Amino acid sequence: MMYQCFIVHKNIVGFFVAAGLFLFVPTGFTQELGKEIFTQKCSACHSIGKGRLVGPDLAGVNDRRSEGWLLKFIKSPQAVINSGDPVAKALFEEFKMVMPDQALSDKQIRDILSFIKKNGISSSASTPPVALAGPVPQHEIELGRNLFQGKVRFANGGPSCTSCHHVKNDAVIGGGILARELTTVFSRMGGEGVRAILGGPPFPVMQAAYQGMPFTDDEIRALVGFLQHADQEHAYQQPRDYGWGLFGAGVGGVAVLMGFYCMIGRRRKKQSVNQDIYDRQIKSE
């Protein structure tokens, strides 16, 4: 009898312990999950209460937007913009960039929003655009320029920036057009925004390109310095015109090849082999 009472008592205690865990653990656990996802997916472009970076400051976003809108927008910003949503279109017009689609579940997004709500301070005041920083040492500008166009390899073996990006600068050959032009990226995003993207790329293509090959702190500092310099000087810069140089190199190359072929072909037969056979047969008769 006493043993049965003990079992019942133990079960009751276990029930209340489990209920307590159910009531109190999930909130903190949810916020920890939200923090982890925010750090991995969002922190390169957004802050919480520290001003705008690549995208808007997310402090108070839970108050400014409905949960349903946030769920749709975070999953596929482009789809919401294309639907004609005025808020999404206004964000695009302000930041001139579309956030990449995020492969996140509703629960993961809610975890992120819970973390933002816990750590953000709601404010309706808009954050002014970031200002350009102070002068950058010349050696950092030169290193950043060389890293950008691949004259100096990245320490971890990542591809050069000109593979996908172009920047208007007298000392840089025209770059790729697969990604956005970066001449004025410093004015748009500021040093912290550029540094955040280089430190933790939020864009899928960039993530794939530099997977396992991150930039070092010195490389990030040099690239940011070069992009700041390019932004400040872009009005006085002209991209290099390699047209006539490439044309001259092409003509010279053709001339060299033609001369080489003429030399090795001087002793070639000037008539068919059959003619030689025919001539020998005539002489033998």
Which tens digits make up the pLDDT trace of 154-197? 999 999 998 889 888 877 877 777 788 888 888 877 787 888 88
Instruction: Indicate if the pLDDT at residue 237 is higher than 70.
Output: no
> CA torsion angle for 250, 256, 258, 262 (degrees, to 10)?
180
pLDDT band at residue 12 under the 50/70/90 scheme? low
Residue 144 contacts residue 225 (beta carbons within 8 Å): yes
User: Rounded to whole angstroms, how far apart are CA atoms 230 and 186?
Assistant: 9
pLDDT of residue 145: 92
pLDDT band at residue 94 under the 50/70/90 scheme? confident
User: Rounded to whole angstroms, how far apart are CA atoms 78 and 16?
Assistant: 47
The percent of residues above 70 in pLDDT, for the chain, comes to 75
pLDDT of residue 8: 41
User: Rounded to whole angstroms, how far apart are CA atoms 248 and 232?
Assistant: 34
pLDDT of residue 241: 55
User: Rounded to whole angstroms, how far apart are CA atoms 19 and 22?
Assistant: 5
Measured CA to CA in angstroms, residue 183 lies from 35, 186, 214 at distances of 33, 8, 22
Q: What is the pTM of this model?
A: 0.57
| Assigned fold of 25-119 | Cytochrome Bc1 Complex; Chain D, domain 2 (1.10.760)
More confident position, 278 or 55: 55
pLDDT of residue 244: 65
Residue 141 contacts residue 219 (beta carbons within 8 Å): no
pLDDT band at residue 245 under the 50/70/90 scheme? low
**Per-residue pLDDT tens over the stretch 46-89:** 888 888 777 888 998 988 899 999 999 999 988 999 999 999 89
User: Rounded to whole angstroms, how far apart are CA atoms 278 and 285?
Assistant: 11
Enter the tokens of residue 98: 């579309």
Q: Where in the chain is the domain with CATH 1.10.760.10?
A: 25-119, 138-236
Nearest CA among 227, 97, 243 for reference residue 168: 227
Domain range 138-236, CATH class: mainly alpha
What is the number of other CB atoms lying within 10 angstroms of the CB of residue 220?
19
pLDDT of residue 238: 62
More confident position, 201 or 86: 86
